[in-house]
Structures are given as C-alpha cells and as structure tokens.
Amino acid sequence: MAHPDDEILGCGGLLAKISSISEIRVVFIAEGSSCRYKTDETEEISEAIIIRSQAARKSLSKFGIDDIHFEDNECGRLDQVPILEINKLIEKHIREFNPSTLISHSSIDANSDHRRVFEASIMATRPGALNQVKHVLSCEIPSSTEWRFTDAFKPNYFVNLDESELQMKIKALLDYESEVRDFPFPRSSRGIKALSEFRGMQSGSEYAEAFQLIRSINN
C-alpha cells in the first residue's frame, strides 16, 4: 500500500474475515504525512510520521497482524522516485514473504502515490518475473478512488461482510485519528458503512468490499 490507513480503507473488511486463517504482510511504500507540512518543518514531520506508524500498528493489531513494514518514502512524491526503485522494494517483499495474493491500489485513483504503487506492483507481479504471486487485485480507497471524476472504479470481485467484520474495519480505521473526519467525508464511520452498503447492494449482500481482479492464475 502507498500509505498507512490505505490497508484499512481498501481491504479492512477482508482482513477481518481472513486474518485468523491467513498469513498477511502489510507494506507501506510512503509514510503518508510529510506532504502536509513545509519542507523545513522537520520536527513536525518526524512526529507526524511516528504517530501515523504507531496508529498503523495499533490498527492492524486488531486483526492480529504484526508483519508490518514501513519503507518511508516521502508521501506525495512517489512520482519523483524512479519506478524501478519502488518495483525493487515490492519484489524484495515478494521474495521474502512468497505471497499467493497481492492487493494494491487502483490505477485510476486521484492520489498519484496510489497510481505509482499500482504501476510498480504490476511490474513486480508480471508473469515470469516472480510468478509465485498468482492473484493480483486492486482495491478502492474512499476519498481517492471515487474522486477521479474522469474515470470510475469497475469492481469485478466482491467480498461479502457481516456486521462484525464491518464494525471491525470501522474500529480499526478510527485508530488513525488524523485521517478520520465527520460525514459526509468518505473517511468517516458513516462513510465506510455507506460504501459497504452500496457494494453490498451490487453483490446481493448486506455489506461488501469491492475489488478489481487484475490477474488470476489457477494451477
């Protein structure tokens, strides 16, 4: 994922559903906070990065996930990092963890960091490169994916959620205090529930998370 909180926004319900039966590694390519400050506000930046990484650990601990990696590239500036460098970071984690499934961002997100991570993920999981990754999915990030008004997220894979899984996602998001605002902002308890209800209506369930299946190989 590009930033801490993307993992909860994009697939927190899925984490609630599978974390007790699956091995999960979460990788953050950028720190997610420095772009909100002037470049000379170094103390404030350092403190914000620490607070956000602590929030990530607290949030993910709700799912029993402690395999968390912070690469801490500058947020909002991943388009200035050679994509090969981001690709190599992702490849390193693929080699170490050997996942069967990788979840990344959508190619149409309004956030440029998200799009950059998606591009690098596609490179890292291309067939014949590190082919142990059999399934590649994109997730949607409320306050980014739906704000790319010239394009739309087109899900083709849905994960049904029950009430407890939805509430677990919402509670995990609330650990990111700096990222949550009041409704109608998408990163709010009500906003998360509303999106889950909408995706549930699309897929014939009460609540759901939506994904785009980019590639799947069945042996």
Q: What mean pLDDT is predicted for residues 26-50?
A: 92
Q: Which domains does the chain have, with CATH numbers?
A: 6-216 (3.40.50.10320)
Q: What is the pTM of this model?
A: 0.95
Q: Per-residue confidence at 130, pLDDT binned at 50, 70, 90?
A: low
Q: Please compute, for residue 166, the number of CA atoms within 13 A of its CA located in the half-sphere on the CB side.
A: 22
Residue 52 to residue 32: CA distance in whole angstroms: 8
* Residue 210: alpha-carbon gap to chain centroid: 13
β pairing state of 135-139 and 207-216:
antiparallel
- Residue-level pLDDT at 145: 98
Q: Per-residue confidence at 219, pLDDT binned at 50, 70, 90?
A: low
